[in-house]
Chains A and B, each alone.
Chain A
């Protein structure tokens, strides 16, 4: 880090003054080098997150008559927003419950010495590997009431399918979007739980068997507590994903029939891109962000408590 002048100044050994200058310079670089090295990353971060965030806040606060809270006040009286919020929460809860139940059952089953378990494991992971758009398009074709394979199959079996209008009846439409998510993402929970199960050591089980514990006792007192961190991580990731579901429902029903399956993400998307109301779309996104932050904080706090307890 020596500069040119100090090198060319003299040929002999450097004087005290020169040594002092060089040292001071080196110290200067030393002190600032860390900032210099960090600068690109910090600038990038500022440019990609902080700037858009501030910009988003200004857009959401700019009303027709200058700065106002009108976009946020509108949230409270917008029936569509509240309905999409309720539906998104219900959808998240139901999907999460089913996926967790099935995922846990499958993980417990395939963690034992069942024959052909490695084959089952690979097959089970397939849905997760497919892009959600592809999954949604295929399911939409399958759910088609006149030409789809589901109604076609049921008709062959002699069922009356005239009321099975998967995309036209609100209840059936809700059911069908839940089925698709469960089909695709149960494997994800299964995978995490299976990894968690395999990480549990053998000795507590041996001890429990010697003590004559029942299978339920073993599950309740050993397996589940030791599996809890994996459970929490699986639930956390799925909750976040479910809460912002967009692609599957966009393809399957586009929020229909009526407004029955419109998630918040879909409503935000339509507000921003179809109605060109960015201010309101961002205001809704902030509410979504707040809910996600609160939910993930709860999970993380529970998770941390678990780790401390262990």
Chain B
């Protein structure tokens, strides 16, 4: 009887321990990546690295919407399941603020280096410091996305339109092309949350808006903000009906099928537009930096960063991998696989320039891009902001009302999270 209990007891403990397995051993790295073109680059690099350095790498792949949750829960619990995480830059402040990432400076010093070299695009590297601007380094930029403006060069030529420089140009061209060509003049992302906010921000900035004042108070309902939203809704008249539910995929589909003349999207789509099996507009699409209006045009930066969790067992080997993956040679390979680089020298590489004609424009867009506000509360703010922008675009609320309510909600989020004195 006693023995039976003992066996059951020991057995259950053993099973419990077995459940906690799957941790990485010294010669193994586990990397959490986004499933999509950005992560595919790392998947191919993994095989090269394994061959060169005889270390085994496990890739854990998650769709964009779940990646943040997976990584955050894991880092917060300190399970050490991942040695490297790939993260979208707006998430970075949250991870850094909660002190979940390993600092890079000591790791550089151990290798006799003072820090990252100055070949990285300044705007991209700046994202990896916390606090933004003058903080410490916790990541390195791997994929240098920033929004670009796509337009149908052939149709603009046909109707003697100059490439749009201001948003007013965009609106008048959209009107004209929709009338004369019978296609949608413009297409944008209007789905609540991340998509609509990412497409509204360039307008907001071009109209002179800033999300927070110098004291950190939200001011999205400023006159500039309202004007930008009014303009967005006006532009929506030349967008396919239903753009309020669009994400990057729908925008990409309309552009590549030749059913819309202009739109903002990520550079990853360029390869699709140039692929005859997927696109009806090969060679007809031109690329521009984001148009200006009252202020200089700026695109949202959307870089993918590589960072090491504080709980990772293999920080040294993980750092070696990150240095290798963000090196000039590897980044060039990754660029050939379709990922925009984060190094100036790779953007200017003659072989790549011959292949990717948009690179000069992309570099300008990236260098003049703006980050979405660097706050650990960004996910929550973006969600609320996106809901109201989406409601204004689907005519449930007037622009003033939508932005007024958004501003109140953002204020409430910030106040609620203000630390106790």
B192 touches which one: A165, A259, A274, A275 (CB < 8 A)?
Answer: A259
Q: Give the dominant DSSP class at A's interface.
A: loop
Residue of B nearest to A147 (CB): B253
How far, in Å, is A132 (CB) from chain B's closest CB? 17
User: Hey, which bits of chain B sit against chain A, CB under 8 A?
Assistant: 68-69, 72-73, 94, 190-193, 240-246, 250, 253-254, 379-380, 383-384, 387-388, 390-391, 394, 396, 416-417, 419-420
**Per-residue CB proximity of A146-180 to B under 8 Å, as 1/0?**
11000000000000001101111110010000000
Q: Are B387 and A276 in contact (CB under 8 A)?
A: no
Q: Is the CB of B419 within 8 A of A276?
A: no
- Give me 20 A-to-B residue pairs in the complex whose CB atoms sit less than 8 angstroms apart, sorted by A's number: A64-B417, A64-B419, A145-B242, A146-B242, A165-B241, A165-B244, A167-B242, A167-B245, A168-B244, A168-B246, A169-B242, A256-B192, A256-B193, A258-B244, A258-B387, A258-B396, A273-B69, A275-B383, A276-B379, A277-B380
Give the total of A residues in contact with B, Cβ under 8 Å. 30
Q: Provide the residues of chain B in CB contact with A258, threshold 8 Å.
A: 192, 244, 387-388, 390-391, 394, 396
Cα of A147 to Cα of B114 in the assembled complex, Å? 54
Does chain B have a CB within 8 A of A181? no
Contacts of A145 in B (CB 8 A): 240-242, 245
Closest CB of chain B to A93's CB: distance in Å? 22
Contacts of A155-209 to chain B: CB distance below 8 A: 162-163, 165-170, 173
**Chain A window 64-78, contacts with chain B (Cβ cutoff 8 Å), 1 for yes, 0 for no:** 110000000010000
Decide if A168 touches B190 in the complex (CB within 8 Å): yes
Pick the residue among B241, B388, B390 that contacts A256 (CB under 8 A): B390
**A169–B394 CB distance below 8 A:** yes
Say whether A270 faces chain B, with CB atoms less than 8 Å apart: yes
- Return chain A residues, CB-CB under 8 Å to B416: 74
Q: Which residues of A contact B417 (CB under 8 A)?
A: 64
By beta carbon, the residue of chain A nearest B195 is A256
Enumerate chain A residues within 8 angstroms of B191, measured Cβ to Cβ: 254, 256-257
Give Cα distance in the complex from A297 to B374, angstroms: 48
Q: Nearest Cβ in chain B — how far from A239, in angstroms?
A: 28
User: In the complex, what distance in Å separates the CA atom of A259 from the CA atom of B68?
Assistant: 22
Q: How far is the CA of A256 from the CA of B189 in the complex (A)?
A: 13
| Contact assessment for A168 and B391 in the assembled complex, using a CB-CB cutoff below 8 Å | no
Q: Which residues of A contact B246 (CB under 8 A)?
A: 168
Contact B394 A170 (CB under 8 A): yes
* Cβ-closest chain A residue relative to B384: A80
A-chain residues with CB within 8 Å of residue B383 when the two chains form the complex: 270, 274-275
Complex: A158 Cα to B220 Cα, angstroms: 44
